Chain A
Amino acid sequence: MKYVDEFRDRGKADALVAEIDKLVSTIDIAARRPIHIMEVCGGHTHSIFRYGVEGMLPKEIQLIHGPGCPVCVLPMGRVDDCIAIAEHANVIFTTFGDAMRVPGSRKSLSQARADGADVRMVYSPMDALTLARNNPDREVVFFGLGFETTMPSTALTVLQAESEGIANFSVFCNHITIVPTIKAILDSPDVHIDGFLGPGHVSMVIGTAPYEFIAQYYRKPLVVAGFEPLDVLQSIWMVLKQIREQRADVENQYARVVQGTGNVAALQAISRVYELRPFFEWRGLGSIDHSGVRIRDEYARFDTERKFAIPNVRIADPKSCQCGEVLKGVIKPWQCKLFGSACTPETPLGALMVSSEGACAAYHQYGGFKKQAGAA
């Protein structure tokens, strides 16, 4: 595949790894303790495991798989809300595929479908709108999920529904925003992160300016990274170079896609349709201020939360779940007491075990191979 295979080239990967090895050997702190680099985005986590990137890195580098998997940070109560909506007799509940298996307190959407709810997988909110157009006597709900990456397409679908006057379509808005969450992680006392790989697709929408505080206030390097394995390796090298030079800057490795100013049209759609919520609940991380969006009053008729009575019950994560510590990089997935015993991809307790972007599922499925024996 053109423009894809070039970014998976083994020879170039070997060369990059050699450069990373060389650079690490010149960084003082690496002699005393591992360098912690957090990849914020679930897409990176997937790529790292899919291509076995982690095992190619020197042992001094530890990757922390951050909170950027929207499915993984979905609290159980919200899944229960989805099921309550989906179980309305007249509702067609539409969702991205990954959300199907996320456990609620009683069941997942996939189990709700088996029990008779009309739950359908779609690839785009526009597909949900088409369903609404073709089923005027049914109420079609789209489960709006994801960071700024998927936010604009949901917003544009709402605008399209408005311009067509489609009355039987609404969005159950669970879109979340990444920047306050990075801040919450940095403020967390038990977290030690030396640098970040910034989310490429989110940055395509929001640009690179929103991360400046991480460099300026927290003095941590951040490199906006692409998703192919060579992108990831190069970005790691760029973070290390900043550490070596004792710089903390926002740099953009993914310049072929991300512009510093972001995507103006997408940002306009976002600000037209959504407003920030005062706070939003994250699985494992708790409530984070201004970390979620809801639909503005002007578009209230497309807001599922106002169209339906939603139970909105807060369900505490199972006590023994350590999703939060894994998300913050305090522990590695396999150090969780439940990993591989009570919590497996077949019977996930924590959402990190559900999506292939979740760190636990990735370790469980793809395994951890480290260069040195016994590290994983």
Chain B
Amino acid sequence: MNEMPFRRARSLGKVNVPAVTLAHGGGGRAMKDLIDDVFIVAFDSSFLAPLEDQARFDLAELAVYGDRLAFTTDSYVVDPLFFPGGDIGKLAVCGTVNDLAVGGAIPLYLSCAAIVEEGVSIDMLRRIARSMAETAKGAGVRIVTGDTKVVHKGACDKLFITTSGVGIIREDIRLGVDLAHPGDAVLVNGLFGDHGAAILEARGEMALETPIASDCAPLHDLIATLLAAAPGARCLRDATRGGVATVLNEIAEASDVGIEIDEEHLPVREEVRGFCEILGLDPLYLANEGKIVAVIPPEESEAALAAMRAHHLGERATIIGWITDGEPGRVVMRTVLGGQRIVDMLVGEQLPRIC
């Protein structure tokens, strides 16, 4: 008697239509096909394959990395989805990896929840998922759980992605936004404002001859190098929305210290400076996706600077200022001209000036 050959109950599905429809969010076969075709194939993770409702970890295996768990989440709604230097997928991985890394954590696992507007092309989703997978691989993290929702036209703008991340903090690392101390040096790892300018540019608001590329990059390795060179580092923050100015204000406020920066030493690309001049924007408030502000005790500041500069994501690292015992919570800038001004938090969005 011929036995029926064993057939896997479930093989990876495939989407054969060009665009997402509400059917792909219905919970049935079409949705499984979409998740398989777009995400499972790209992420190729042994955690995802069983399609459990949750990823499961062995605690003892995690404990070898350190003594504290770091957990973070962030949503990505960037418009346009693709821009010079990256795309929403790369951004969603880097952003969460960096949020873990600035706490001193080794980033390990990510989740990925996608909200897709009906009508979005499947090919574009595949590209974005591949970009996430490549970025995750480069950053040494695995995407281990996810979710996909499809919403009707107009209910979201093409694609929103939320990633959460888990990492482990080594026993000897103590970083905190409230730990800055007068005399500490304030460093950034390179030219800032690129991401914000790249996004504004990519929206077609200015026709520039040389497009500005986003600095979007995972910073875990740079941070590991930095912490090895400057184990006494007080605080690290990634200068995303609100830019370097906002992070400086957060540090000054939380640590109850003053901060003084020198405009002459602010590393900003010529193209970004020009872009800001024309639009009446300030690069200090432009978003970054590959820049950190680091507060380092004075005796380690030179080592920290050298370590950053030796890393390919920190070649243009600079000491931009110092923590002071000035008015607590106040960030003051010595201008290029030699005058002084306050660098405050941004009130709302940065609005271009009229003339």
Binding site for B on A (CB under 8 A): 1, 4-5, 8, 10, 13-14, 43, 46, 49-56, 70-71, 96-101, 110, 121, 123, 145-146, 149-150, 201, 229-230, 345-346, 355-357, 364-367, 369
Whether A121 contacts B352 in the complex (CB less than 8 A), given A4-B277, A346-B347, comes out as: yes
Which residue of chain A lies nearest to B270 when distances are taken between CB atoms in the complex? A1
Binding site for A on B (CB under 8 A): 205-206, 264, 270, 273-274, 277, 279-280, 332-342, 344, 347-348, 351-355
Q: Is there an interface contact between B339 and A55, defined as CB atoms closer than 8 Å?
A: yes
Complex CA–CA separation, A360 to B355 (angstroms): 18
Whether A14 contacts B353 in the complex (CB less than 8 A), given A1-B273, A1-B277, A365-B344, comes out as: no
Complex CA–CA separation, A98 to B279 (angstroms): 11
Q: Given the complex, which residues of B lie within 8 Å of A46, measured CB to CB?
A: 353
Q: Given the complex, which residues of A lie within 8 Å of B332, measured CB to CB?
A: 367
Pick the residue among B277, B340, B352 that contacts A97 (CB under 8 A). Answer: B352
Complex CA–CA separation, A326 to B277 (angstroms): 28
Which residue of chain B lies nearest to A149 when distances are taken between CB atoms in the complex? B355
Q: Is there an interface contact between B342 and A366, defined as CB atoms closer than 8 Å?
A: yes
Which residue of chain A lies nearest to B348 when distances are taken between CB atoms in the complex? A101
Q: Given the complex, which residues of A lie within 8 Å of B352, measured CB to CB?
A: 96-98, 121, 123
Distance (Å) between the CB of B348 and the closest chain A CB?
7
With A10-B336, A51-B335 known, 17 other A-B pairs at CB within 8 A are A1-B273, A1-B277, A4-B277, A10-B338, A13-B337, A51-B339, A52-B337, A55-B340, A56-B337, A71-B354, A100-B351, A101-B351, A110-B348, A123-B206, A150-B354, A367-B332, A367-B341
Q: Is there an interface contact between B337 and A365, defined as CB atoms closer than 8 Å?
A: no
Distance (Å) between the CB of B208 and the closest chain A CB?
13
28 residue pairs A–B, Cβ–Cβ below 8 Å? A4-B277, A8-B336, A10-B337, A43-B355, A49-B341, A51-B336, A51-B339, A51-B341, A52-B337, A52-B340, A53-B337, A55-B339, A56-B339, A70-B354, A96-B352, A97-B354, A98-B354, A145-B354, A146-B354, A229-B335, A229-B339, A346-B347, A357-B353, A357-B354, A364-B344, A365-B342, A367-B332, A369-B341
Distance (Å) between the CB of B271 and the closest chain A CB?
10
Q: Given the complex, which residues of B lie within 8 Å of A121, measured CB to CB?
A: 351-352
Which residue of chain B lies nearest to A52 when distances are taken between CB atoms in the complex? B339
Q: Is there an interface contact between B355 and A369, defined as CB atoms closer than 8 Å?
A: no
Complex CA–CA separation, A336 to B279 (angstroms): 31
Q: Is there an interface contact between B337 and A229, defined as CB atoms closer than 8 Å?
A: yes
Most chain B Cβ neighbours within 10 Å, of A14, A150, A357, A365:
A365
Pick the residue among B280, B335, B342, B355 that contacts A150 (CB under 8 A). Answer: B355
Which residue of chain A lies nearest to B343 when distances are taken between CB atoms in the complex? A366
Complex CA–CA separation, A216 to B300 (angstroms): 64
Most chain A Cβ neighbours within 10 Å, of B205, B337, B342:
B337
Distance (Å) between the CB of B212 and the closest chain A CB?
15
Complex CA–CA separation, A149 to B335 (angstroms): 28
Whether A52 contacts B354 in the complex (CB less than 8 A), given A101-B348, A346-B347, comes out as: no
Q: Is there an interface contact between B354 and A50, defined as CB atoms closer than 8 Å?
A: no
Q: Given the complex, which residues of A lie within 8 Å of B337, measured CB to CB?
A: 8, 10, 13, 51-53, 56, 229-230
Complex CA–CA separation, A13 to B334 (angstroms): 14
Distance (Å) between the CB of A142 and the closest chain B CB?
13
Which residue of chain B lies nearest to A344 when distances are taken between CB atoms in the complex? B347
Complex CA–CA separation, A4 to B278 (angstroms): 12
Q: Given the complex, which residues of A lie within 8 Å of B348, measured CB to CB?
A: 101, 110
Complex CA–CA separation, A261 to B337 (angstroms): 32
Whether A56 contacts B338 in the complex (CB less than 8 A), given A98-B352, A146-B355, comes out as: yes
Complex CA–CA separation, A100 to B353 (angstroms): 11
Distance (Å) between the CB of A273 and the closest chain B CB?
19
The 4 closest A-B CB pairs, nearest first, are A52-B339, A367-B342, A97-B351, A97-B352
